[in-house]
């Protein structure tokens, strides 16, 4: 586990909230909501593509902030932080999107969901490796 677990959890929650807020905005705007799905790629590209692009930057920035903590330089911290980002985001996706919003497990049949999780895993590893 990351040494500063509360901070890492807050960062992971911020990442998920950014995607949730953007998805809510898109679903509230009829022209964006009505963009046709691409089977097995994305239910709505107006939601998934901006989230993926934003998360590349956001995960990078949050990882740099996390690494800026005095004693955050432990072994494999990028991997630990990335795994935590994925676990928290997948947990909230399952709890909120799959169950509460009744998207069902078909939510996970889209490539963009898995690409977003990959971003959350890979970006912290690469950022920590740069330092």
Q: What is the pLDDT of residues 10-52, one digit of tens each?
A: 999 999 999 999 999 999 999 999 999 999 999 999 999 999 9
pTM of the model: 0.93
Integer CA distances (angstroms), 17 to 3, 38, 59, 95, 118, in order: 23, 24, 13, 13, 18
| Residue 3 pLDDT level (bands cut at 50, 70, 90) | confident
Res 130 pLDDT > 70: yes
Residue 109 in tokens: 């049949």
Per-residue pLDDT tens digits for 62-121 = 999 998 875 556 678 999 999 999 999 999 999 999 999 999 999 999 999 999 999 999
């Amino acid at each position: 586990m990351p040494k500063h677990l509360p901070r890492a959890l807050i960062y992971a929650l911020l990442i998920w909230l950014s995607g949730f807020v953007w998805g809510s905005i898109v679903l509230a705007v009829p022209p964006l909501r009505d963009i046709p799905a691409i089977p097995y790629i994305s239910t709505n590209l107006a939601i998934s593509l901006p989230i993926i692009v934003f998360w590349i930057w956001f995960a990078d920035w949050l990882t740099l902030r996390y690494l800026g903590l005095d004693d955050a330089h432990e072994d494999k911290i990028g991997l630990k932080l990335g795994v935590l980002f994925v676990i928290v985001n997948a947990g909230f996706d399952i709890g909120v999107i799959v169950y509460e919003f009744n998207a069902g497990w078909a939510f996970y049949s889209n490539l963009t969901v898995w690409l977003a999780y990959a971003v959350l895993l890979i970006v912290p590893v690469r950022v920590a490796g740069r330092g």
